[in-house]
Structure 1
Amino acid sequence: MTTKRPALLVLATLLVALFSACSPDTSRKEMPTVNDENCKSENLAQIENKEAREQFASACLRRGPGFKPSPKKEW
C-alpha cells in the first residue's frame, strides 16, 4: 500500500507537466487598424483566424458616423 503513493505522486506530476506544456500558441498577429483600406473585402479575406476576421469585420461595420445602434428595449 505504501509503494503506490510515490508512484501516484510521480504520475500526477507527469500529467501536470504534460498538460501545461500543451498550451495554445499565444503569438497571434494583432488586428489591423479599422480604416477604409483595411475594411475592403480583399483585405478582410487575408485574415486567417476566423474569430479575428469576424471581430474585425464587425468593427468595420460599426465605424463612422453612419452606424446607429438600436435603442435599448426594456421588457
Structure 2
Amino acid sequence: MNVTQLSSVALAALMAGLVSACSPDIPTTKEAPTVNDENCKPENIAKVDDEATRKQFASACLRRGPDFKASEKKAW
C-alpha cells in the first residue's frame, strides 16, 4: 500500500466517523404527566414508559403538597 492509498483510506474512515457521529436520531424524552392525586396513583405512575421520566415523576409525586419539608443537609 503506498502513501496515496493509505491517505485515501484514512480520509474515508475519518469522513465515515464524522458523518455517523452527527446522526439526527437523538432520542427525545416525553414530558411527564401533571402531578395531581389521580396521576400519582401507583398504577398511573407505572404507565409512564420512559424509566428516567417515571422516576422523576414519582419523585415529584412524593414531594407534592404542603406537608413536605426537605430535611437539612448533613455534613458528616
TM-score range, shorter chain: 0.7 to 0.9
1:36 aligns with 2:37: yes
How many corresponding residue pairs?
Answer: 74
- TM-score, with length taken from structure 2: 0.79
The percent of aligned pairs where both chains have the same amino acid is 47
Secondary structure at the residue paired with 2:22?
Answer: helix
Question: What is the letter of the counterpart of residue 49 of structure 1?
Answer: D
Identify unmatched segments of 5+ residues in structure 2: none
Structure 1 stretches of 4+ with a deviation exceeding 4 A read none
Structure number with greater CO (CA < 8 Å, separation at least 6) is: 2
Distance 2:24 2:11 in 1: 20
Alignment of 1:1-75 (within 5 A): 1-21=3-23, 23-26=25-28, 28-75=29-76
Distance 1:14 1:71 in 2: 52
- TM-score, with length taken from structure 1: 0.80
Task: Provide the alpha-carbon RMSD of the alignment.
Answer: 1.8
